């Protein structure tokens, strides 16, 4: 019965992916959707390390990027007829194998330990890979990267991968397949072993398992999916550059996964969707976007270690017991959210004005902020923003405990019901 319910969710997801592009008539929106799908795979692969295996990597983009390069070369070789034709729809599998090979190789030496050592080794490999992309010009072509053309041959069923929509369905298919595969993996004994190795490696050793071996396997599988994502990325953008293997790309996926939530399977998906979307839309609106991203990340690390998904799933037992219980949370939660919003409003206003003042040289003093034209040369907007932020902070102090109390109440009700 349980697996039937699971099937139902996947069917809905497939349907949603199928009809989603019909709502858009724009190449830009499709590209964003494509990128979100690619990064969902990458983020889930990353979470196999961080969330399920307890390995913090600063260099997982290495496998993503190297597979991307290999895919670009592969497509080019196919295009020039140097190697026999393979349908482009199957090429991502090859990319995955490339990621897997590097993962097996590098994973062997780097997964002997977890925690800080692993993080440092990953940083070392990331730095080396970045430097090599610039030095080994024949394969990586320096900062220019590799151009490729996905339009290489007679694809079956008259598909050419010329139009974006066909690429969308290709990526959507692989995204769904990878998500299902990675979800299934978490349900296998191997997936459970990973969690156990994360939580208590000594104990695992006592039972007779080799934690290094489990980590190595998890790392390799994760590299496979990272490689698959990298291949799709190359097919989508038709260009692979040195930034795809770099620290910035690794950092971005870390942000996605951690902000989304490492403890729940949906966390990285949530993070990938949210951050990719924001990265495309918000970055056009504000220069301070990366600052906001960094601050949100730090706050999540400090106060919500399970990420956004964790915050949502905290309420799972409540709605599973009785939806009506959520109604009791509504008031205190809205108050807390409004207080947070007010604080953010004040702080964002201050930040935007500071950024504007530091970047502006032409003598303009009027900034378009929150749909208003603000005169930054006058003291008033600054005072207002500081006051709003302070007011918000006070409101937060007042409302957060109440929200916490209401959650505790609801949970104790749930516990009482379960006990009876």
Partner 1 sequence: MDVLVFSLFNGVLYGMLLFMLASGLTLIFSMMGVLNFAHASLFMLGAYFAYEVSRHVGFWPGLLIAPLAVGVIGAIIERYGLRPVHRLGHVAELLFTFGLAFVIEEVVQMIWGKVPVPYDIPDALKFTAFTWRGLDYSAYRLFMLCISVGIFVALYAFIARTRTGLVIRAALTHPHIVAALGHDVPKVFMWTFGFGCALAGLAGAISGNVLGTEPAMAIQLGPIVFVVIVIGGLGSLGGALIAALFIGVLDNLAISYDLSFYPVLEALGVARDAEGLLSDLVNLTTANIAPVLPYLLLVLILIFRPRGLLGTRDV
Partner 2 sequence: MKLRNAVAFFALLVGAVLAGAAQASETIKIGLIEPMSGPIAAVGRDTLFAFEFWAGKVNERGGVLGGRQLEIVPLDNAMNAEKTTHQLKKAVDLGLRYVSQGVGSNHALNIIGFVNKHNKRNPDKSILYLNHAAVTTAFTNELCSFWHFRFDANVDMKVAALTTQMGLDPEVNKVYMLNQNYAYGRSFQAAARRLLQQRVPEAELVGDELIVPFGKVLDFTPFIAKIKASGADTVLTGNWGPDIHRFVKASMGSGLDVQFYTIYGGLTSSIAGYGGAAKSVNLKQVTEFHENDDVPSTKNLLPLMDEWQATYKQSGYSDRPRWLIEMLAAAMDKAGSDDPVAVGMAMEGLSFDGPLGQVVMRRDDHQMLMPLVVSSLTTQYERPVVYDGKDYGVAFSTDGHVSREDTSLPTTCQMKRPG
Contact 295, 302 (CB under 8 A): no
Q: From residue 246, how far is each of 4, 60, 128 by CA, in Å?
A: 42, 9, 10
Among 294, 330, 331, 397, binds partner 1 (CB under 8 A): 294
Residue 412 and residue 8: Cα distance in Å, rounded?
Answer: 31
Under the binding rule (CB under 8 A), the answer on residue 205 touching partner 2 is no
Q: Where are the alpha helices (DSSP H) in 85-163?
A: 91-110, 115-135, 137-140
Element (H, E) at 375: strand 372-375
Residue span 223-262 as binding mask against partner 1, x where in contact by CB under 8 A, dash where not: ------------------------x---x--x---x----
How many binding residues for partner 2 (CB under 8 A)?
44
Could you tell me which stretch among 174-182, 237-245, 287-295, 334-342 binds partner 1 (CB under 8 A)?
287-295
Under the binding rule (CB under 8 A), the answer on residue 297 touching partner 1 is yes
In the chain, what is the straight-line distance between the N-terminal and C-terminal CA atoms, in Å? 26
Residue 53 and residue 47: Cα distance in Å, rounded?
Answer: 8
Under the binding rule (CB under 8 A), the answer on residue 290 touching partner 1 is yes
Closest of 384, 367, 385, 368 to residue 376, by C-alpha: 367
Under the binding rule (CB under 8 A), the answer on residue 83 touching partner 1 is no
Among 105, 128, 131, 298, binds partner 2 (CB under 8 A): 131
Under the binding rule (CB under 8 A), the answer on residue 238 touching partner 2 is yes
Under the binding rule (CB under 8 A), the answer on residue 19 touching partner 1 is no
Among 188, 200, 210, 283, binds partner 2 (CB under 8 A): 283
Retrieve residue 309's tokens.
């998904």
Could you tell me which stretch among 125-133, 150-158, 163-171, 401-409 binds partner 1 (CB under 8 A)?
125-133
Among 20, 31, 321, 407, binds partner 2 (CB under 8 A): 31
Q: What φ, ψ does residue 411 adopt, rounded to 5°?
A: -65, -40
Enumerate residues 329-358 that contact partner 2 by CB under 8 A.
Answer: none
The pairs formed by 268-272 with CB atoms below 8 angstroms and a separation of 24 or more are 268/40, 268/43, 268/44, 268/46, 268/47, 268/51, 269/40, 269/43, 269/44, 269/179, 270/307, 270/308, 270/309, 271/43, 271/307, 271/308, 272/36, 272/39, 272/40, 272/42, 272/43
Q: Which among partner 2, partner 1, none contacts residue 318 (Cβ within 5 to 8 A by kind)?
A: none
Total residue count of the chain as it appears in this document: 420
Q: Which among partner 1, partner 2, none contacts residue 372 (Cβ within 5 to 8 A by kind)?
A: partner 2
Q: Which among partner 1, partner 2, none contacts residue 115 (Cβ within 5 to 8 A by kind)?
A: partner 1
Residue 222 and residue 45: Cα distance in Å, rounded?
Answer: 5
When the beta carbons of 45 and 146 are compared against partner 2, the nearer one is: 146
Contact 354, 365 (CB under 8 A): no
Under the binding rule (CB under 8 A), the answer on residue 241 touching partner 2 is yes
Residue 155 and residue 134: Cα distance in Å, rounded?
Answer: 34
Contact 257, 43 (CB under 8 A): yes
Q: Which among partner 2, partner 1, none contacts residue 141 (Cβ within 5 to 8 A by kind)?
A: partner 2
When the beta carbons of 291 and 404 are compared against partner 1, the nearer one is: 291
When the beta carbons of 224 and 356 are compared against partner 1, the nearer one is: 356
Under the binding rule (CB under 8 A), the answer on residue 132 touching partner 1 is yes
Could you tell me which stretch among 5-13, 70-78, 371-379, 402-410 binds partner 2 (CB under 8 A)?
371-379
Q: Which residues bind partner 2 (CB under 8 A)?
A: 26-28, 30-32, 35, 131, 134-135, 137, 141-145, 147, 149, 151, 162, 164, 233, 237-244, 280, 283-284, 287, 289-290, 359, 361-363, 372-375
């Amino acid at each position: 019965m349980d697996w039937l319910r699971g099937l139902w969710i996947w069917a809905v997801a497939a349907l949603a992916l199928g009809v989603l592009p019909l709502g858009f008539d724009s190449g830009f929106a499709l590209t964003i959707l494509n990128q979100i799908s690619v990064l969902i795979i990458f983020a889930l692969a990353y979470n196999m390390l961080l969330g399920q295996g307890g390995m913090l990597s600063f260099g997982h983009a290495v496998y993503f990027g190297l597979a991307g390069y290999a895919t670009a070369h592969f497509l080019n070789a196919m295009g020039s007829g140097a190697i026999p034709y393979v349908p482009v729809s199957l090429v991502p599998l090859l990319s995955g194998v490339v990621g897997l090979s590097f993962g097996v190789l590098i994973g062997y030496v780097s997964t002997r330990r977890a925690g800080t050592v692993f993080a440092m080794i990953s940083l070392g490999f990331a730095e080396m890979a970045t430097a090599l992309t610039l030095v080994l010009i024949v394969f990586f072509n320096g900062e220019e990267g590799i151009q490729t053309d996905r339009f290489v041959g007679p694809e079956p069923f008259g598909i050419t991968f010329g139009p974006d929509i066909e690429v969308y369905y290709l990526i959507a298919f692989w995204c769904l397949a990878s998500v299902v595969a990675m979800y299934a993996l978490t349900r296998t004994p191997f997936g459970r072993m990973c969690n156990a190795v994360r939580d208590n490696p000594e104990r695992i050793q006592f039972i007779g398992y080799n934690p290094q071996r489990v980590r190595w396997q998890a790392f390799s599988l994760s590299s496979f999916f990272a490689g698959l994502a990298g291949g799709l990325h190359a097919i989508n953008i038709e260009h692979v550059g040195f930034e795809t293997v770099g620290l910035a790309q690794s950092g971005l996926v870390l942000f996605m996964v951690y902000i989304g939530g490492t403890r729940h399977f949906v966390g990285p998906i949530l993070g990938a969707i949210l951050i990719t979307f924001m990265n495309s839309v918000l970055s056009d609106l504000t220069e301070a976007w990366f600052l906001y991203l960094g601050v949100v990340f730090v706050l999540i690390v400090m106060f919500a270690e399970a990420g956004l998904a964790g915050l949502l799933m905290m309420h799972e037992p409540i709605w599973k017991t009785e939806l009506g219980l959520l109604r009791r949370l509504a008031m205190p939660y809205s108050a807390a959210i409004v207080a947070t919003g007010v604080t953010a409003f004040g702080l964002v206003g201050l930040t935007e004005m500071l950024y504007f003042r530091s970047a502006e040289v032409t003598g303009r003093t009027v900034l378009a902020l929150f749909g208003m034209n603000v005169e930054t040369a006058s003291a008033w907007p600054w005072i207002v923003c500081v006051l709003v932020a302070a007011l918000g902070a006070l409101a937060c102090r007042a409302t957060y405990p109440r929200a916490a109390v209401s959650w505790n109440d609801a949970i104790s009700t749930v516990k009482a019901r379960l006990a009876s």
